């Protein structure tokens, strides 16, 4: 009988993701004058928008990344700003009266800021793996790679390093050429290092 892995819902991870999205949206609204968040209960509305933005990140973002995968490498990742732009436009449509912007340029600026702040808060709150791990066993584990989705472990193949227990022999020193006895008896051959 096959052994199936039981899927569990991680509510702590979802809660931290909602808080990170709400903080990113709230700071973008505070910094950019063309982006407004109009609600009676601001904190509750920010958390609800963070939840909706998290759902859009979970379901719509992978589809958009798959569609624009070719352009992801060509533009060095700048297409992720366009994806964030579409996500913010969808958030504005799903929450009428809460999240509004004066035009597409303000939404584009908000997409840049929400993307940067989202990565910052997700890293700060522990949702993204560290960029560098200095633990001794980390070199054998491989490196982590993420495009905004689930992190993937990539194995690292490093060349073997010589240890201190096996010393390497010193390189032979360069010695000037010496005349061999057979060449000395011939007499008519020119030896290097001798005047002609």
Burial category of 4 from C-beta neighbours within 10 Å (exposed 0-12, middle 13-18, buried 19 and up) = exposed
Per the prediction, the chain carries an average pLDDT of 74
DSSP class of residue 36 equals E
pLDDT tens per residue across span 55-79 = 888 888 888 888 888 888 888 888 8
Distance of CA 34 to the CA centre of its chain: 30
| Number of DSSP helices (H) and strands (E) in the chain, helices first | 7, 4
Distance between CA atoms of residues 128 and 85, nearest Å: 22
pTM of the full structure: 0.59
Q: Provide the 3-class DSSP secondary structure of residue 196.
A: coil
Has residue 42 got a pLDDT over 70? yes
CB 51 within 8 A of CB 18: yes
Taking the C-alpha atoms of residue 111 and residue 81, their distance in angstroms, rounded to an integer, is: 6
Per-residue pLDDT tens over the stretch 124-138: 887 766 555 555 555
Domain locations in the chain?
Answer: 11-124
- Which among 3-17, 88-102, 121-135, 154-168 has the top mean pLDDT? 88-102
| pLDDT value at 47 more than 80 | yes
3-state helix, strand, coil in the chain (%, to 5): 50, 5, 45
Q: How far apart are CA 125 and CA 121, in angstroms?
A: 6
Q: What is the pLDDT of residues 88-97, one digit of tens each?
A: 999 889 888 8
- Distances from the Cα of 19 to the Cαs of 14, 71, 119, 173, 184, in angstroms? 9, 30, 13, 67, 90
pLDDT tens readout for residues 16-35: 888 888 888 889 988 988 88
- 71 vs 26: CA distance, rounded Å: 30
* DSSP strand pairing (152-154 vs 143-145): antiparallel
């Amino acid at each position: 009988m096959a052994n199936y892995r039981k899927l569990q819902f991680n509510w702590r991870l979802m809660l931290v993701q909602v808080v990170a999205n709400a903080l990113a949206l709230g700071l973008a609204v505070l910094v950019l004058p063309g982006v407004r968040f109009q609600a009676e209960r601001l904190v509750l509305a920010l958390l609800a928008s963070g939840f909706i933005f998290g759902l859009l990140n979970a379901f719509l973002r992978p589809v958009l990344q798959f569609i624009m995968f070719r352009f992801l490498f060509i533009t060095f990742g700048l297409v992720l700003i366009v994806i964030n732009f579409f996500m913010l436009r969808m958030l504005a449509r799903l929450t009428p009266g809460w999240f509004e912007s004066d035009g597409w340029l303000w939404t584009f600026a908000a997409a840049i800021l929400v993307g940067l702040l989202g990565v910052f808060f997700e890293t700060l709150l522990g949702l993204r793996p560290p960029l560098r791990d200095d633990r001794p066993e980390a070199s054998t584990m491989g490196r982590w790679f993420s495009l905004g989705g689930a992190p993937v472990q990539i194995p690292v193949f490093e060349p073997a390093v010589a240890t201190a227990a096996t010393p390497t022999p010193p390189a032979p020193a360069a010695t000037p050429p010496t005349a061999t006895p057979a060449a000395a008896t011939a007499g008519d051959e020119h030896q290097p290092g001798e005047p002609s």
